Structure 1
């Protein structure tokens, strides 16, 4: 009889684990709280009551859609999900973007190739972006940024893991020395805060340098690689071209998927030192039952897992106590990154890729979707009137916006996104888009007449808006966002558990698990699932191959410098850029090379 695995949570981590387990002969059941959707934070959604006869509901998205070229784990799984005649399954539904644009209030946007320039137009766009951007960055700003990136490139893994993990990204980049004020300056906007907020919804004052530095390096290395695609997006709504085909494949292989099931408890038997069962609540019937298996894989997010860990579990594995500690609101490990969709009367193609509204208070990113959806025309959705779709992500819900609203004290003023009603969120985000995208002196790209309707991610629940906000504009609790996003804050690595726990039949697969990716992404979720599956394989003694785990790319040309830094770190010495003998060695090798060519 095959070993039975119960997976609690049907997001990307849960589905990834089910995929690897079912292909290795295990019996798999998934218990997921969503009534219809799969894929967790990666899902797309149908806008309620938006379809007319003969049309599909308008497509909405929960959050960011971004598949950078350094992703290895999730894309490997995507290649094994059948889709029509695609040779590489749903992986072939990923299409590269061509440009990234930074939109700025009161200034022309800065557009540049997102990949290594391959055409004359690419090189022209790159030069225009570099020479005519008018960013306000000084020569000292550029030198500081280059120095910090070089230090990351030539630092050993051990130094990044043990030293940079304890340093906040803002502190490492030395922005306070640059500006000396809390008002954003160009260096903060372009080199530190703006990109950090928009790409990973992280507070730069809180995110660890290890996490921020590793991801920045991966993106920069991709841009410098002529054979890589830095940014890829799906060629249709996420459910249609990825998640639903994935669900169909898992079911065809034998995975049993239970919807509307909320896990409320894990039962730990102190006598056997094992998990004896899990209680799940049927959200439709409100009936509870206990499910049992040989192994249990918890693929629920941090804030939910913290409620499932009992004192008996902590006695068997004290590191599980750190999960509850990590979810403490005062550690600021949870942030928000939720989507807002705008359906337009005309298709507005901003650029062939993502647009970062670099100075928008709510850290907005936007992409025009129809240009990437050739097989999913907008005329097939809603009532057929929408021709354009701007998919927007709001990454800073705890900063004040640009519009004045009536306040509780009878006055008017600006509000944080988390304090706004859904209607206010729509109007505020649209206003920030207009500020960023409409350049003075040029015909406006956006205006009130072009907007048909909008939709805010259903995880934002205004009826529960009551969370106080403390220093650094970070929430102290997240009760009114059903699915907040984990942020790897400085020095949090030591609190995060491994995929295999001290309880022999319990394994973890979620964004808080230690991974090489070290970021709350689809890639990190898939890697965590692979690590959990490898733990189950080892515990069960199954004679099946383990899942492959990739490390982040490290440029081989700098291996010698990283090796030297590893030696310095082992001796307790700081990083240094001064390696006199290395320069002499390289000069000597260059001399010998030219002598060899001359002799030849």
Structure 2
């Protein structure tokens, strides 16, 4: 245990919390500074804005987080009239977040908090093609990487020539595993074209899976991370592809438990506290100034802020003098749009389903979740559009109509259903863009300042922008701080082991 040492963490997002939990377990005095009135950052939830006035039926209004100025890092929320039974105690997530079994560090984080029971796992993926025909991918008793083969052979949206092309690509991925880290400068589309993928395979398989996983278009995304999605999430371990969906809002799943966890161990969380400047002297951070004039000091400082927010706090001469800090100016972002719809009846029994050839990419059935307080026969669904740049200029009404048009094409029950309520959430800066060449600008967690560390899914984690990447970065920062104290400890969890057959194929 480390006693008497203090850590100041800038930002109460997942990466910062992932560092805070193991550090406070090791005896550090931890202070988390968060400018919003809640924790969670870009993976958070907040009350449905039903207490902000009832507009006429069918009208829309724009709202922001209560008691917080609307800034470029906060999502814009729009809501139509909410059903009478909805209350301000109901929470929605800023977007639907999921995990896979290959997310070993995120699962470990949930276990540390004792909340892993809040995740429902599914070993079957459902797809609806352009004609509304249902198809599935699911596991079989075969060893990885063959465990999905029987369901893949029956996958209706693809012709045999498409399946053969995808199978060849999978084989190439397995054989290329040692070279995957060197594929960062190639786009995923270039890799697919190089491996002779059919147009149908790209549109009905690669694009739906990878745009959702990477939050970036195939024409832009790094091939390194596209291949990683399939190798780590599908081919190398038979359990890796199992999807975990939160049963409850993220506030209930992990942000409120984090608050309790830290408070019970003497930690401090300062909400609604904006940092204005990091004081730097002799290659060390010596203080953090807050907007109210408070000055915080610690033995160590850790940032979980986005690149542009961190840049504003650092002295310009420090940024110019460090390649790692200067690279923060080069980051680009990619948006996500979430659409929540309440209907007067159940529109599907499926828990989750991907749509092929549609603007809407995923449907998540929220009515059966443990967090649903809606009751009755209403249906509550969450829709996701990743890399949603084309939706940013659209108003919420146009986005809802677009979503309903897609749903009516593939789910006949929607054609007769009445829409009770809608909420549209645009996250313009949801994730960093994992575009080809991004590895050269992703900084290490150890910065040029000897007592300052950087976390965030955008740092060098070897992962695309995911909750898993955020936790990995926070865990690595905690390891580095412990190393500075002479208490080297392995906090990062190992990846799932690669199946023997997958290893054998990689040798040829």
Deviation at 1:536, TM superposition (A): 1.1
Q: CA deviation at 1:493?
A: 0.9
| Aligned counterparts of 2:271 and 2:235: Cα–Cα separation in 1 | 41
| Local SS of the residue matching 1:242 | helix
Partner of residue 76, structure 1: 108
Quick check: 1:112 aligned with 2:112? no
1:515 is paired with a residue whose SS is coil
RMSD in angstroms over aligned alpha carbons?
2.8
Aligned counterparts, 1:352-363, within 5 A: 352=351, 354-361=352-359, 363=360
Tell me the secondary structure at the aligned position of residue 79 of structure 1. Answer: helix
Instruction: Report the secondary structure of 1:355's partner residue.
Output: strand
* The one of 116, 136, 144 aligned to 1:91: 116
SS of residue in 2 equivalent to 1:513: coil
Q: Quick check: 1:143 aligned with 2:167? A: no
Give the Cα separation in 2 of the matches to 1:509 and 1:103.
38
Structure 1 residues 160 and 301, CA, compared in 2 at 3 Å: closer, same or farther? same
How far did 1:242 drift?
A: 3.0
Instruction: Quote the residue 1:133 is aligned against.
Output: 156
Q: Decide whether aligned partners of structure 1 residues 236 and 558 sit closer, same or farther in structure 2, where only a CA change above 3 A counts.
A: closer
Tell me by how many angstroms 1:27 deviates. 0.7
The alignment status of 1:305 with 2:329, answered yes or no, reads no
* Aligned pairs (5 A) from 1:383-398: 387-398=378-389
Identify the residue that residue 454 of structure 2 maps to in structure 1: 508
Aligned: 1:419 with 2:393: yes
Q: Which residue of 1 is the match for residue 64 of structure 2? A: none
Matched, 1:369 2:366: yes
Do the aligned residues in 2 keep the contact of 1:498 with 1:508 (CA within 8 Å)?
Answer: yes
The partner residue of 2:476 within 531, 539, 542 is 531
| Bigger Cα Rg | 1
Contact 1:347 1:387 in 2 (8 A): yes
Please tell me whether the aligned partners of residues 232 and 240 of structure 2 are also in contact (alpha carbons under 8 angstroms): no
Matched, 1:253 2:244: no
- C-alpha spacing 1:132/1:115, structure 2 compared with 1 (3 Å): closer
Decide whether the 8 Å contact of 1:32 with 1:261 is kept in 2: yes
For 1:114 and 1:14, the matched residues in 2 are separated by: 35
1:335-377 CA deviation, whole Å, 9 max, x = no partner? Answer: 112322112222333413x21122113x42111023242xx44
Structure with the bigger RCO (C-alpha within 8 Å, sep 6+) is: 2
Change (3 A) 1:313 1:22: same
Aligned length: 471
The aligned residue for residue 435 of structure 2 is: 489
Asked if the contact 1:72/1:550 (under 8 Å) is kept, the reply is yes
More helix by share: 1
- For residues 153-200 of structure 1, what are the alpha-carbon distances to aligned partners after superposition, in whole Å with 9 as ceiling and x for unaligned? 12243x2112x1221100000079666xxxxx4222123222222233
Is 1:160 aligned with 2:165? no
In structure 2, do the counterparts of structure 1 residues 319 and 207 end up closer, same or farther at CA, with 3 Å as the change threshold? same
Query: What runs of 5+ residues in structure 2 fail to find an aligned partner?
Result: 52-81
Structure 1 or 2: more strand by fraction: 2
Paired position in structure 2 for 1:433: 407
Between stretches 26-35 and 170-179, larger displacement belongs to: 170-179
Aligned to 2:337: 338
1:172 is the counterpart of 2:191: yes
Contact 1:110 1:129 (C-alpha < 8 Å) held by counterparts: no
